[in-house]
Chains A and B, each alone.
Chain A
């Protein structure tokens, strides 16, 4: 599995995707190949896909630490921890000063599983920003 295979699959889906979402893929070259996946109508929350030795990582940036209302970081962290298990197929993390939501899949996942994961991560991202907006500036 590599990002180009994933990109080809998502681009050929067009209107026939099982999730009803329309994907657009753009590879980003760098030390590690990253695929930037955007969903039609939700371009503000791109998903970054990378393939490592044993897993496929799908990461979406949520908000920066500077967007958290002063004094509410602890409450927000507690809420996020409590949400972590109920939230399907995804978890929270922090990369640098950015909060992220991510899903990790086995390297042997089917393309339809990856498509499903991307849709779920994106839906979760939208819902979680909505839920956590009381803590955000």
Chain B
């Protein structure tokens, strides 16, 4: 079963009772242990690979050396034949034969080491992918677990404070009403502001002697003087 299905099954099973641990913490621990085991295997495989590759290189060097030896001795044999020394040539030929059989053995070892190295490299790559995948799955399981615990903490908090999650539409209406209230207040403030600025305009006009003049003592006196005439 894929990790997605496992999580979904766990959530549905636990949904009847919020707060119930949906993910078995024991299972999580086992899974974490499995990841650690895989990582240990991976480290060991890498170490093995290093060893095999060292052997591969050693065998390669040995093969090269033997090939050089064979060529060298072939040269000696030809020289011995040129000198007409059949006995010496035969001795050299025997040496070449021994070298060639050793070369065949070393070549076989080299092929075998190369094969092992390739197989181990493939294994290491596969294991690395596997560990990555396990870690991703564990992260999903842990997140599910913490969201579940979080939900229970939230639910506990709500029930202890005697408040509850409101109906969504009611919440929206309240928020909108508050927003409206805020907007109204802003409008009222703007209105007030503009009235104030009207007042200040009137004051400026008056100061400039434009518009209705005040009934001050001077104007009253002027009026009385005018009546006397």
Contact = CB atoms under 8 A, between A and B. Distances in A.
A45 B153 CA distance: 17
Interface residues of B, number: 30
B169 A129 contact: yes
B151 A96 contact: yes
B174 A133 contact: no
B15 A96 contact: yes
Q: Which 8 A-B pairs have the closest CB atoms?
A: A30-B153, A63-B168, A44-B171, A31-B149, A32-B149, A129-B172, A32-B146, A28-B157
Is chain B's interface secondary structure helix, strand, loop, or mixed overall?
helix
B166 interface: yes
Interface string B151-180: 111101100000001111111101100110
B74 to A, nearest CB: 66
A96 B18 contact: yes
A75 interface: no
B150 interface: yes
A98 interface: yes
Contacts of A52: 142-143, 146
A67 interface: yes
A55 B175 contact: no
B150 A129 contact: no
A41 B139 contact: no
Nearest to B166: A44
A136 interface: yes
Interface in A92-129: 95-98, 126, 129
A133 B170 CA distance: 10
B139 A45 contact: no
A53 B139 contact: yes
Contacts of B152: 30-31
Contact of B153 (A32, A96, A98, A133): A32
A30 B157 CA distance: 9
Is chain A's interface secondary structure helix, strand, loop, or mixed overall?
mixed
Contacts of B169: 63, 67, 129, 133, 136-137
B147 interface: yes
Contacts of B18: 96
Nearest to A65: B15
Given A41-B175, A55-B143, A67 B168 contact: yes
A44 B150 contact: no
B168 A136 contact: yes
B147 A95 contact: yes
A130 B178 CA distance: 15
Given A50-B150, A59-B150, 5 more contacts: A45-B175, A50-B147, A54-B139, A57-B143, A59-B147
B151 A95 contact: yes
Among B11, B170, B175, max chain A CB count under 10 A is at B175
A120 B154 CA distance: 21
A63 B167 CA distance: 7
A26 B64 CA distance: 74
B146 A50 contact: yes
Interface in B186-224: none
